[in-house]
Structures are given as C-alpha cells and as structure tokens.
Amino acid sequence: MNHTPGPWYWTGSCTQGTMITAKGGAQIAIWPPQWGTVEQCRNASLIAAAPDMLAALALLVDGDGKPDECPRAMNAARAALAKARGE
C-alpha cells in the first residue's frame, strides 16, 4: 500500500480553514472555515499524525517485539501520540 510520504502538517485554524499538507506542499486534505469545529481541528491533528503513527507502529511490530526494550520505538510512539493529540 502506498500513501503520500510523511511528515504531514496541518496549517490554518478552526476559524480560517484547515489544510493538511505533506513535506513539499502536497495537499492531503482541506476544509473551509465554516466547517472548522473544535472536533474537526482535533481531527486535523490526528490526520496529520497518521504517517508518524504508522512509522511508530511499524517500528514496534517489526522491531524486536518488546517495546520496553526499544527506547527508539517508544519515543517514536510517544511523539506520534503527542502530535495526534495536538500537543
């Protein structure tokens, strides 16, 4: 399965409209300001974090299978989770 490579970013605001873009400017998703609810802004964070979460999960699953013995995988998972949460 192929997808637009990450990282992905979200720009804009709930009141100005939102756009998810990939490195290099490729558009992943866009919605206008009238659709900008708080829930949709949180969805934007989740969408933008998708490639990071995929990479972190792949590292956990394809790695040694022991997350507490793989600090790099846990750090990647924590960073992806923070991005998904908009932190």
Give the pTM: 0.67
Q: Are residues 35 and 60 in the same domain?
A: no
User: Mean pLDDT, to the nearest integer, of 2-12?
Assistant: 84
Q: Are residues 54 and 30 in the same domain?
A: no
- 87 within a domain of the structure (yes/no): no
pLDDT digits (tens, 9 = 90+) for 67-86: 555 777 778 888 888 888 77
- 29 within a domain of the structure (yes/no): yes
User: Mean pLDDT, to the nearest integer, of 22-50?
Assistant: 79
Q: Whose CA is closest to 2, among 74, 73, 51, 61?
A: 51
Q: Are residues 68 and 26 in the same domain?
A: no
Q: Are residues 36 and 55 in the same domain?
A: no
* Residue range of the domain that includes 20: 1-48
Q: Are residues 40 and 63 in the same domain?
A: no
Q: How far from chain centre, in Å, is Cα 74?
A: 16
